[in-house]
Amino acid sequence: MGSVAWKQLLLNALESNAHLKHSSFMQLATVGTNGTPSNRTVVFRGFQDNTDNIQINTDARTRKIEELKLCSSAEICWYFTDSWEQFRINGNVDIIDGSNAEPLKLQQREHSWFASSLRSRSQYLCPNPGLPCLHEQAQPDISLDPSTGPIDVFCLLILEPHQVDYLNLKSNQRLTFKSSVSAAAEKSWTVERVNP
């Protein structure tokens, strides 16, 4: 069961809630640089190739990058309001920025860049996120050539799940999926039904 089962549950939830704009939004929690929890809403950008790895686009200037560099552990919490399903997915996050030495990862980053809307890509041209606004003037129109590849501050985050906690409030069912890696470096999943 394992990986196929939780991923299929998630794909089903995405499909049944697709009419809701917020169904692609999830919360990503990291460990703050001061050791306290740090949480924010991010957008699901799909699965990496034919894996269970979850893709998220972000700006290299955000606090989450600094936090993930110190501690790559993170957890996603995702609630689907129509189907009453919650997914808590924890694992480690790989940061893929323009300095990455692996050509395949750079290709994945570029693919994720072009898969985003032009409006979404243009946000990476804005001033540093989280810093104080220095003036109250209207922001100038920012234009981006649609054929231009990823800019320096664009990062692709890949969360490799290690554990998934699935809760369905309609059916009052809760399942936990846990991964393990064999001596041959093959990942497998076990599933257990637990009390909600």
Instruction: Report which of residues 187 and 138 the model is more confident about.
Output: 187
pLDDT over 50 at 1, yes or no: no
Distance CA 153, CA 36 (A): 25
C-alpha distances in Å from residue 155, one per residue of 58, 74, 170? 5, 16, 37
Beta bridge pairs of residue 174: 167, 194
pLDDT over 90 at 130, yes or no: no
Q: Which residues contact 66 (CB under 8 A, 6 or more apart)?
A: 33
Instruction: Answer for the pair 78, 7: CB distance below 8 angstroms, yes or no.
Output: no
pLDDT of 163-180, one tens digit each? 999 999 999 999 999 999
What CATH topology corresponds to 2-126+148-194? Pnp Oxidase; Chain A (2.30.110)
Give one word for 84, left, alpha or beta, with left for phi > 0 and alpha for psi -120 to 50: left
Domain residue spans in the chain? 2-126+148-194
pLDDT of 86-100, one tens digit each? 999 999 999 999 999
Question: What average pLDDT does range 95-115 have in this prediction?
Answer: 96
Distance CA 8, CA 3 (A): 8
C-alpha distances in Å from residue 69, one per residue of 55, 116, 177, 187? 17, 24, 26, 24
Q: Average model confidence (pLDDT) for the chain?
A: 92
Amino acid at 116: S
Half-sphere CA count of 45, side-chain side, radius 13 A: 23
pLDDT of 12-32, one tens digit each? 999 999 999 999 999 999 999
